[in-house]
Structure 1
Amino acid sequence: MAQKFPRDRFDSIPHGIERVGAHRAPARRGAGWVAFGWAALATVVLVAVGIGAVVVFNDRLNFGEPPVNTPTPSPVAAAAPTVAPDIPVTVLNGTTTSGLAARAGEALTAAGIPVGTTANASENDLTETVVYYATPDLEGAARGVAGAIPEADVRLSEQFAQIGTPLVLVVGSDYAAATGG
């Protein structure tokens, strides 16, 4: 026997609604566009994150773009080569070739540059011949020494200023090769 229950609000369904269950409401108009909008927003966010990642890692990746032309720095004016008759040059042999410092000292003396001491350097495997000057005002004198010695470069070094040697010529294997020694 079937029981009869009193009618309540769930028993009266408006006409035109085709419900299958008590909790299912009809789909709203435009509900498909909401899902499409969320998907489009997620796509835009993922693309923006990808572009941002490429920008961050662009320094490490080479995409074959030509290098950017940077302006070249203007050359620094070098001091004119001079001879300082009151400043003797210390000549050091930075190679294993015997007598190379004495030979360089003779070349300096022949050019009118005073030579103080000739000795062996603490290192004997140097490849470059360099004239070191202790203070910026001695650059011209250092360039004068470099002009008398083939293959010589000029560099500022405060290390020699600390030991009281304003001009030091360190001859390397390039000087030995240039002079045939």
Structure 2
Amino acid sequence: MTRYPRDEFDRVPETSTRQGVHRTVAAARSRGLAPILSVGAFALAVGLVAFLLLPRLGFGPAGGTAMAADKSSATAAASATAQPTATPTAQPTTSPTSDPGSTVAAASSGTTPAPTATAAAVDKTQPVAVYNGTTTAGLAGRVGSTVTSDGWVLGPLGNWTGPRQQTSVVYYNGAAQKANAQELAALLGIATLVDSADFKMPLVVVLGPGYR
């Protein structure tokens, strides 16, 4: 009980049932969604069954068949390449230009074929004259000793009385003495060779300025 007087807000029927509008709307919505959810669950179940069972039963898509065919062809190609292949063996070849008969004959005779071209022989019995065209005393005698030590026959020694020499020269008389002149020039380190008939000697060495 309160100490305030009752008014119109206190007049509530004792037997009345309270009903809210929001409760009626919520119940109607839940009843409307139930069939939709049932259909979605059934469709999901059918999709799972088709995805899991149909490929095992052989009802897969065409793409699966193509992939299986590709796999089988790749396996066949790998097995074909894995097999060993026969490698041709090298056969001994014979040169058409070789003559076995001539080779055997040369080996049995013990002789070697003569060279087609031979170098001109050096004749060290030809006398060599040495003249000193420098101001170094005794140079002709020293070079003469070198010539003799190499096996040459030594000719006249002396000082050069001809025209002034610019360099050392080996003079030789005729083409037959050219090989001798080249050998002598190599021994003495002289680079200039001159074919001249002015000398009575076959080989003449004139030592020019700067020769050591």
Q: How does the TM-score come out when normalised to structure 2?
A: 0.41
Higher helix share: 2
